[in-house]
Amino acid sequence: MPMYGDLGNKLVQHAKRTQNLAHLPPYQTELIRAVTREVRDLDKDVASLLEPFQGSFDPSADQATACTLLVNHLSMRRNKRCLLAYHRTRTDKLEELVWNGSDVLDLAGQQAGGANGAPAADGGASSSLSPQEEDYVRQYGDLLAAYKGQWTDIDLTGSLEPPRDLFIDVRVLKDAGEIQTEYGAINLTKNSQFYVRHGDVERLIAQGYLQKLG
C-alpha cells in the first residue's frame, strides 16, 4: 500500500546514488511531477477539510480532524524536503563540474545521445539535465567567469599540482580548432599529436578536447 511520502523517498534514493557517481544521471522528470502532484492533492484535501469551519477551526474541539490536518501537513513538508534535497544534490554536482572546467552542457548531451559524440543540438530533449538545470549551469558559468576575471594573473580553476615539465605531449581527442600560443598558431584536429606548453592547453585537457600523454 503506497503511502504519502513514498515517492519523495524514491527521489532521495536517486540523490543518494547520484552522490557516488562521477557523472550526472538523467533528471527524474516523471517522479518530480508525481511528487508535486501529491503535494497539490494534499493541499486540496486540507482546503476541503477546513472548508466547513469557515476559518474558525478549533483543534481541541475536533481532534480527529486536527490529526488528519497534521498528517497532511507533515506529508507536504516531507515532500518539500525531498524535492529540495534532490535538486540541491544535483546543483552541487553541477557546480563542481563547472569549477572543474568540464563542458557540462556538451557532456550531458553526449551521455544521453550515445557515444557518437553528437552535441545536444536537438533542442536538449535528450539531455540528462532539466531545462532549468541547463540554465543554472549557464548562469553559474557566467558568474564564475566574472569572478575569475577579477584576477587576470592567476587562474582560479587551474590545477593545484605544480607542473613537472613546462612542455608536454598531447593527443587531440576532438576537433578543437585553432589556438594561439607564444610560438604561433596550432590547428588541433582529431587524432593529431603535439608537443606544447602545458599552460597553453590546460583548459582544453580539462574540457576533454586533449589527452595528456606520458
Partner 1 sequence: MSYYDIDLILTDAEKIPCTFQLDIPDLGYLDNTPTQPLKAGTKVNLPLWLAEMLAIANAGDAEGRSFVTFDLPPALGNDVVQALKADPRAVPLRDQSAHFYGLATQMMELSEEQELAAALRKTFVIRASEVALHARKVGGAGQRGKGGADEGSNLGVGGAGEEFLRGLDEWERKLFRKAHDGTKSGKEWMESIKKH
Interface contacts to partner 1, rule CB under 8 A = 1, 3, 5, 9, 12-13, 15-16, 19, 49, 59-60, 63-68, 70-71, 74-75, 78, 81-82, 84-85, 88-89
Q: Which helix (H) or strand (E) holds 172?
A: strand 167-172
Shortest distance, position 11 Cβ to partner 1, whole Å: 10
Q: Which of 60, 191 has the CB closer to partner 1?
A: 60
* Nearest alpha carbon to residue 127 among 60, 1, 27, 213: 27
Q: Which of 6, 169 has the CB closer to partner 1?
A: 6
Shortest distance, position 58 Cβ to partner 1, whole Å: 8
Q: Which residues pair with 195 in a beta bridge?
A: 169
Shortest distance, position 65 Cβ to partner 1, whole Å: 8
Shortest distance, position 45 Cβ to partner 1, whole Å: 8
Question: Residue 150 corresponds to which cell in the numbers above?
Answer: 577579477
Q: Which of 15, 107 has the CB closer to partner 1?
A: 15
If you search the block for the grid coordinates 507536504, which residue do you land on?
A: 76
Q: Which of 20, 191 has the CB closer to partner 1?
A: 20
Q: Which helix (H) or strand (E) holds 177?
A: strand 177-181
Q: Is 179 helix (H, G, I), strand (E, B) or coil?
A: strand
Q: Which of 48, 180 has the CB closer to partner 1?
A: 48
Q: How far apart are CA 59 and CA 112, in angstroms?
A: 52
Shortest distance, position 4 Cβ to partner 1, whole Å: 9
Angle at 78 between CA 77 and CA 82, to 5 degrees: 120
**Non-local CB neighbours of 151 within 8 Å, separated by 6+ positions:** none
